[in-house]
Structure 1
């Protein structure tokens, strides 16, 4: 990763690390961590500044032997065929949270809040939030979901108190692609 990208990640994490205490958002009662691992397509988000013009955004998780989560976040910048950006933060499950609350670390020692507020019973979709209501991610196991499912997930995000005018649908290629 270039110096420019490290600096961008560091600046973003400083903004992400300040977890305000407003009304805490819901937390999924339990997340089967092994089932949660794998590829998640970002369907919609209120993005961090790094991902404001992301296309084909995919977040992939792999459980490491030490219990941390190797994460690969990829997207094309600026268009479906724009340059590929790749980030490798590490997730850390917070004990006693039913595996639904993580710290996500792009740059040591800063860990941003990563809160799994919803996960479908069949693990087909999820909503990741932050108590600050600054960023949110609606993700699914497939690059697209039905409009009915999207509206249901969008309704949950709205019920959490997010400013829905900031929610952006992330354009995805219809065919799955390999994540580096």
Structure 2
């Protein structure tokens, strides 16, 4: 029991510390008015992200969302370390819908009360492109149903991030698989 208490405190400290903020948090963050969870399900390719420790060195990143029997959303994140042929790493999580466009995601379900994060859908284009962020500004992503976006699509996504106070100079554009 003592180990679990120490472990829980360590997780709490890690969750709250050492995160860089990539957005001006004085800017009001807006989410999509409606989010059809069933349309959002499926595979998304990570086009761009703000640096974070859990994706350090990751390329070819995808996120797959599925509907669970309990109504929550399953999350399966996949990355390849270093190169597209590098070691494959996966993380399984669970998301719950808080309100339209606002979800909470945890990769440690038994500690979800302290180890979960905001996943806010800031913009959607026909459920083909999604811009996601968090009010604290420590995370943000551009996701798409395909591994590549046109310049116009990239511009749209970056405008959504900018309108929500994000510093676009901090975006990372990892390599992505093609031809899938």
Give the aligned partner of residue 52 of structure 1: 56
Give the aligned partner of residue 104 of structure 1: 105
* Cα displacement (A) at 1:106: 1.1
Of 149, 152, 161, which residue of structure 2 is paired with 1:157?
161
| Mapping 1:30-179, distance limit 5 Å | 30-94=34-98, 97-98=99-100, 100-107=101-108, 108-109=111-112, 110-120=115-125, 122-176=126-180
* Cα displacement (A) at 1:158: 1.6
- What runs of 5+ residues in structure 2 fail to find an aligned partner? 1-10, 20-24
* Cα displacement (A) at 1:160: 1.3
* Cα distance in 2, alignment partners of residues 23 and 87 from structure 1: 31
* Cα distance in 1, alignment partners of residues 48 and 148 from structure 2: 10
1:124–1:140 Cα contact (<8 Å) kept: yes
What is the number of residues matched between the two proteins? 162
TM-score under structure 1 length normalisation: 0.82
* Cα displacement (A) at 1:58: 0.2
Q: Which runs of 4+ in 1 moved over 2 A?
A: 10-13, 21-24
1:12–1:48 Cα contact (<8 Å) kept: no
**Over the residues paired in the alignment, what is the CA RMSD in angstroms?**
2.3
* Cα displacement (A) at 1:93: 0.7
Of 25, 28, 32, which residue of structure 1 is paired with 2:32?
28
The structure number with the bigger radius of gyration is 2
* Cα displacement (A) at 1:123: 0.7
2:42–2:65 Cα contact (<8 Å) kept: yes
TM-score under structure 2 length normalisation: 0.82
